[in-house]
Structure 1
Amino acid sequence: MKPTPGLRRQIIQSLAVMALGIICLSVFGTYLFYAFAVTYLPGSISDTMVPSRLELVWITCTIIAALSMAVLVAVRLSRRLISPLNAVAHSLREVAEGKLDARAPLDDQATGETAQLVRDFNAMAERLQSVTREREFWNAAIAHELRTPLTILRGRLQGLAEGVFSPSNELFEGLLHHVESLSRLIEDLRVLSLNESGHLEVQRVSVRLADELGSVLQTFATPLAEKGFDLREELDAELLVECDAVRIRQALMALLENALRHADPGNLKVRLERVGDDCQLSVEDDGPGIDSALATDIFEAFRRGDPSRSRKSGGSGLGLAVVKAIAEAHGGQAYCQASANGGSRFVLSWPLQKPE
């Protein structure tokens, strides 16, 4: 496919062709006109400064031909310029009116920069429509996640106020559990919002990360054992890492909660190691594994590998998205890969030292 010439080049070429045509018409046309008139109409040429009737006719025809050539070039250029611009302007008005599916047609008249303008506008409109759909999805998902704990809290508190429930430590502990769930959900949403806007800051200091992560593993040891998990730790105790230890602990908690809810009971390996110039924190389970087609999207907010199974086991669908946000805030990445034993390996990786 031949590359389309730029708009500036098209204008220069068109004006150059027009000027050359008018010059040729004026010079060679006039030469031919006088050669013909002198040969076949010798008395039709004026000997004074005042042109004869035939010469006036020739001058008028030359002017009309030059103007016609200029108009033709102007019309062709305007079609290439104005038509795409009008299409974009019309589509912009439709987008402003809320019709986010409006697109500017890309016809043969649009070339060079005008064609690129149409393509860029359509790409922008597509992105805007996608963002709007994503925002609507987020609003619905957040409302859904907040509805259940709030409904439970309201029911329990109303029951207490009306005397339906008797005050007890068990009841208050249940209420406190739901309040803590709401607090975690709100904190997760805050982290994701800050990361989306580019304002999620981390306080990186040099720490022995194994010591920091040990407290998290101690906290989860009992609930993991009750679910039938055999927790295995492989933490490099001598590894000094520049990171925000609080955020890394938060990420590990999210990975362990994800394993509690979705992984099959069995071995659960938590590993902290140095890989090249990066620090890697990974959590590996024995199953059931994640389809490779879903592995790239599982770190997105409210994306679940198996929606029905996730609903039964609970969770907001934000935990892995928080892990990804923390990894990106450290200049790293989070990803999921199949493990050798048929399960999944969730990896949080970031540079050992903050880039200069």
Structure 2
Amino acid sequence: MKLEGLSREIARSMMAIAFSVSLFMLLTSYAFFFLWKTYWPENFDAENMVPTAPEWLWMIGTTLAGLALAVVVGINLSKRILVPLNSVADSIRRVAQGDLAARADAGDPSLGEAASLADDFNLLAEKLQRMTQEQTLWNAAIAHELRTPVTILRGRLQGLAEGVFEPKEALFQTLLTQVDGLARLIEDLRVVGLAESGHLDLHVRKANLDEEIQDVVAFCDAALRSARQRVVLDLQAGVVPCDPMRIRQALLALIENVRRHAVAGTVLIQSRLDGANVCFSMEDEGPGIAPEFASQVFTAFRRNPAAHTQDDHKGSGLGLAVVAAIAQAHGGQANCRSTNRGGSRFEISWPRV
């Protein structure tokens, strides 16, 4: 068997250890006999000091046997160590060639650091694969979301340029609506992207959360009424530290989500102080979130396929991701759960300090 690299070095080291131990035992034996002759000569038999031929054969044979055993142990040890290391090296080459599904074999878990290296590589490869898949999804979703408004804008503008459409106020309002939709999509993408990279800047100050909520609800009142939804406020938070603009943005996203997907009925909006946290929530009367979709509700571009919509456009799929991003930027979190009435309750909380 040809030994190379680490296997050869391990075998050499084991042989060196075995030879050194044998030589050490031989030399210390002679040192012992020298001290014996020097200090206790009356008990020393000098005629028996010279090894006989069988004794020489025994010493040489045991040394060679120790070297052979060291080689065997070194080879077996190197094989066990090199299984995860070679697997990691091979998997790295496969990942470099674009095979993100490559995984390393950890081998014997008793090897500790070598097995941990393979496990850590597998975690890294899994995360890289998931990020690549998410990036592909994002690219496809962004292209899908941009295609509709851009197509509408291009068609209307081309019609105006060719004289097909008359330049009426209603047409310009349609164009402005599409531009506003594009602007919201771009802003939502910016917020989610900055939050994921940890660069979403906040301008935190003392602000009256209840007043901010009331202003946003008043602004959206007409849209909610058109969806036959009535808002009930229960506001008890008062002045708290937050970025008012971002909180308004999160609240607008929640209201838009309720307007599009919730059934007609009462929408309960609450704010309160819960110990060291600030909380505000929004609760509707249905149709609720499917259990299999609940874990993905705050993930960008994830839409509930069973969701009820009040209009033909289903939204960008970024609204709740923006809510989660703003909550995390405040050092808090966003969560969603079903209610006893069959609806959904969305809640944002963050520290008061």
Normalised TM-score (structure 1): 0.82
Once structures 1 and 2 are overlaid, which stretch shifts more, 316-325 or 66-75? 66-75
Paired letter, 1:159: G
Can you list the C-alpha shifts for 1:301-326, whole angstroms capped at 9, x where unaligned?
11122267569442000000000000
Does structure 1 residue 267 correspond to structure 2 residue 266? Answer: yes
Does structure 1 residue 280 correspond to structure 2 residue 286? Answer: no
Distance 1:87 1:142 in 2: 38
CA contact (8 A) 2:227 2:259 kept: yes
Can you list the C-alpha shifts for 1:156-209, whole angstroms capped at 9, x where unaligned?
111111111110111111101100100100000000000000111211101112
Distance 2:53 2:161 in 1: 111
Paired letter, 2:63: I
Query: Following TM superposition, by how much is the alpha carbon of 1:230 offset from its aligned partner in structure 2, in angstroms?
Result: 1.3
Distance 2:53 2:319 in 1: 92
Distance 1:23 1:64 in 2: 9
Could you say what secondary structure the match of 1:300 adopts?
coil
Structure 2: 5+ residue stretches without partners: 1-9, 30-45
Query: Following TM superposition, by how much is the alpha carbon of 1:76 offset from its aligned partner in structure 2, in angstroms?
Result: 2.4
Q: CA RMSD in A?
A: 2.9
Aligned residues with identical type, % of pairs: 49
In the alignment, which residue of structure 2 is the partner of 1:239?
A: 238
Once structures 1 and 2 are overlaid, which stretch shifts more, 54-63 or 322-331? 54-63
In the alignment, which residue of structure 2 is the partner of 1:326?
A: 326
Can you list the C-alpha shifts for 1:209-259, whole angstroms capped at 9, x where unaligned?
2222222111111111122111222223x7111000000000110000001
Distance 1:276 1:109 in 2: 45
CA contact (8 A) 1:332 1:351 kept: yes
Could you say what secondary structure the match of 2:103 adopts?
coil
Distance 2:166 2:58 in 1: 111
Paired letter, 2:196: E
Aligned length, in residue pairs = 322
Can you list the C-alpha shifts for 1:8-64, whole angstroms capped at 9, x where unaligned?
xxx9xx97xx7699559967xx9xxxxxxxxxxxxxxx9799876555544432332
Query: Following TM superposition, by how much is the alpha carbon of 1:340 offset from its aligned partner in structure 2, in angstroms?
Result: 3.0
In the alignment, which residue of structure 2 is the partner of 1:62?
A: 62
In the alignment, which residue of structure 1 is the partner of 2:87?
A: 87
Distance 2:232 2:116 in 1: 56
Distance 1:288 1:257, change over 3 A: same
Structure 1: 5+ residue stretches without partners: 1-10, 31-45
Normalised TM-score (structure 2): 0.83
Distance 1:267 1:304, change over 3 A: same
Distance 1:112 1:132, change over 3 A: same
Distance 1:299 1:154, change over 3 A: same
